[in-house]
Amino acid sequence: MSAASGLGIALTIAAFAVAGCGTGRGPSLSPAPVPSPTTDELHLLSGIRPDAAIDCVPVRSALPAGATAAVECAPNDGAVDRFRVTQFSSTADVLALYIAEMTGHGVALNSGTCFDGQGESSYFPGPDDESIATRNGCFVADVAQFRAIDTGGNVYIAIAGNSADASRELDRYAWKGNEDTPGAPTLWRAP
């Protein structure tokens, strides 16, 4: 882990503490206790690309079936409003959520790229069917949305944009700095 990455994680952990302070009703003499990040939350934080690990907070309620942890961040990026990384106990669980979300928003599997505004495909070579979990796609639900699966940690990546026409920018943000062929989204990588 680089020094910059370690600093980003330390700052994010500090943000966990700040996020839990106070009640929104003015100063408190006895702030509510702030839970420490869980092991799974620390794992998620350590896999977030350092430039994106901004204002990250744990998400501990209303997690999807099979999820073990989630972290949401609000990076300083013009196209991205926020993103969430959610860890699942199995590839089957994360793939089921991904397929349900894509088809629920009218996105046919293997329909193209995010550069088309709406599309979905596997990003790793091989038979391109719904059993392949290395997938990413985009759709618009009020604002542009990007979704991907990182099978290195059974992690679901969900990015919400700032506008309805930001699909291309969300795809670029998710893949920023990728130098591998065929490659994978860089927003989260197994540490």
Start-to-end CA span in the chain (Å): 8
Q: Are 68 and 89 in contact (CB under 8 A)?
A: yes
Q: According to the model, what pLDDT value does residue 36 have?
A: 82
pLDDT score at 183: 87
Q: H/E element holding 82?
A: strand 80-88
pLDDT score for 127: 65
In a domain, residue 187? The reply is no
Supply the pLDDT for residue 86: 98
Question: Does any domain span residue 186?
Answer: no
Is there a domain that residue 183 lies in? no
pLDDT score of 32: 59
Run means of pLDDT, 10 residues per run, the chain, 191 residues:
43 43 45 75 96 95 96 94 97 94 94 87 74 90 95 92 94 93 90 83
Contacts of the segment 11-18: beta carbons below 8 A, 24+ positions apart: 11/53, 12/45, 12/48, 12/53, 12/54, 12/56, 12/73, 13/37, 13/42, 13/45, 15/55, 15/56, 15/57, 16/41, 16/56, 16/57, 16/58
For residues 27 and 20, give the distance between their C-alpha atoms in angstroms, rounded to a whole number. Answer: 13
Rounded distance, CA 48 to CA 80, Å? 15
Count of domains for the chain? 1
17-20-25-29 Cα dihedral, nearest 10 degrees: -60
* Structural domain of 168: 3-174
Q: How far apart are CA 168 and CA 178, in angstroms?
A: 15
- The pLDDT, as a whole number, for residue 17 is 40
* 180 domain-assigned: no
Residue 32 lies in a domain: yes
Q: What distances in angstroms separate CA 116 from CA 19, 137, 162, 172, 178, one per listed residue?
A: 37, 10, 17, 13, 20
Check: CB of residue 36 under 8 Å from CB of residue 19.
no
Residue-level pLDDT at 113: 86
Residue 98: inside a domain: yes
- Within a domain: 184: no
3-state secondary structure of 38: coil
Residue 135: the pLDDT is 92
| Residue 86 within any structural domain of the chain | yes
pTM, 2 dp: 0.81
